[in-house]
């Protein structure tokens, strides 16, 4: 139901990275464990992942890499935040937008600040903002992770964020959880009582439940 509603209004969405990028500036970045010729060991280091991302952008003559919804990834095994004795979380629930630190991020539609937080565990979100939206009386949320810390300083819960407003930017590795700069963008139907944080990676056992609650965010790719 939510995706159908979003598709109905899709032509009205503002581009997440603004209007300075064109459709040809984007390319797919594939980090699935089954991707041929992907060096799974190398990309588990910052430098190795950065080299792969930059090489893909250069090879495809692009400025921004996009992708990753429901990808099974090896990246998270570097951090105990994604591990437990029962099961590991390694399936990605959002879409990543890979670009330079300080790349501005714009509100795709009107919303208000639901919550924000600095999630400082290794390979966590780092600086995080969650917006609350309402379309045709249906409430849902968008999560923005791996941001710059400065953008959290001027926020208040309930603050209105108008469509097309640049309200945050991608952070560097010292403020974004230790990642190569990018935006983690995720749709959430039910926040399940959480504030400033929400799982962006799930396990195989919980995949059906979480993929229903966090549908495909590619509907917001409107360039």
Query: Model confidence at 85, in pLDDT bands (50, 70, 90)?
Result: low
Mind listing the pLDDT tens digit for each residue in 178-202?
A: 999 999 999 999 999 999 999 999 9
Query: Model confidence at 158, in pLDDT bands (50, 70, 90)?
Result: very high
Residues 68-95: what's their mean pLDDT?
88
From residue 223, give the alpha-carbon distance in Å to each of 13, 27, 107, 116, 135: 10, 12, 14, 27, 21
pLDDT-above-70 percentage for the chain: 99
Q: Which residues, 6 or more positions from 117, have their beta carbon under 8 angstroms from its beta carbon?
A: 128, 195, 196, 197
Q: What whole-number distance in Å separates Cα of residue 167 and Cα of residue 81?
A: 28
Q: What is the 3-class SS of the chain, one letter each residue? A: CHHHHHHHHHHHCCCCCCCCCCHHHEEECCCCCCCCCCCCCHHHCHHHHHHHHHHHHHHCCCCEEEECCCCECCHHHHCHHHCCCCCCCCEECCEEEECCCCCEEECCCCEEEEEEEEECCCCCCEEEEEEEEEECCEEEEEEEEEECHHHHCCCCCCCEECCCCEEEEECCCCCCCCCCCEEEEEEECCCCCCCCCCCCEECCCCHHHHHHHCCCHHHHCCC
Q: pTM to 2 decimals?
A: 0.96
Mind listing the pLDDT tens digit for each residue in 26-66?
A: 999 999 999 998 999 999 999 999 999 999 999 999 999 99
With a cut of 90, say whether residue 80 has pLDDT above it: no
Query: Model confidence at 78, in pLDDT bands (50, 70, 90)?
Result: confident
Mind listing the pLDDT tens digit for each residue in 92-130?
A: 999 999 999 999 999 999 999 999 999 999 999 999 999
Taking Cα atoms as reference points, which of 115, 111, 125 lies closest to residue 196?
115
Q: What is the pLDDT of residue 12?
A: 97
Residues 162-182: what's their mean pLDDT?
98
């Amino acid at each position: 139901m939510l995706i159908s509603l979003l598709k109905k209004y899709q032509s009205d969405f503002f581009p997440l990275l603004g209007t300075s990028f064109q459709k040809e500036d984007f390319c797919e970045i594939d980090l699935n464990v089954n991707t041929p010729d992907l060096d799974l060991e190398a990309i588990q280091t910052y430098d190795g992942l950065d080299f792969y991302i930059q090489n893909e952008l250069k090879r495809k003559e692009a400025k921004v890499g996009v992708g990753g919804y429901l990808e099974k990834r090896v990246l998270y095994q570097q951090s105990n935040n994604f591990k437990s004795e029962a099961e590991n979380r390694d399936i990605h629930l959002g879409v990543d937008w890979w670009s330079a630190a300080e790349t501005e991020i714009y509100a795709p539609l009107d919303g208000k600040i639901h919550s924000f937080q600095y999630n400082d565990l290794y390979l966590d979100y780092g600086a995080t903002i969650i917006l609350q939206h309402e379309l045709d009386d249906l409430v849902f949320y968008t999560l923005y992770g791996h941001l710059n810390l400065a953008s959290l300083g001027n926020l208040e819960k309930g603050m209105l964020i108008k469509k097309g407003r640049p309200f945050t930017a991608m952070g560097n590795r010292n403020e974004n959880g230790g990642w190569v700069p990018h935006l983690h963008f995720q749709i959430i139907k039910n926040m399940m009582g959480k504030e400033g944080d929400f799982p962006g990676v799930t396990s195989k056992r919980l995949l059906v439940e979480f993929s229903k609650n966090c549908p495909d965010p590619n509907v917001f790719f409107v360039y």
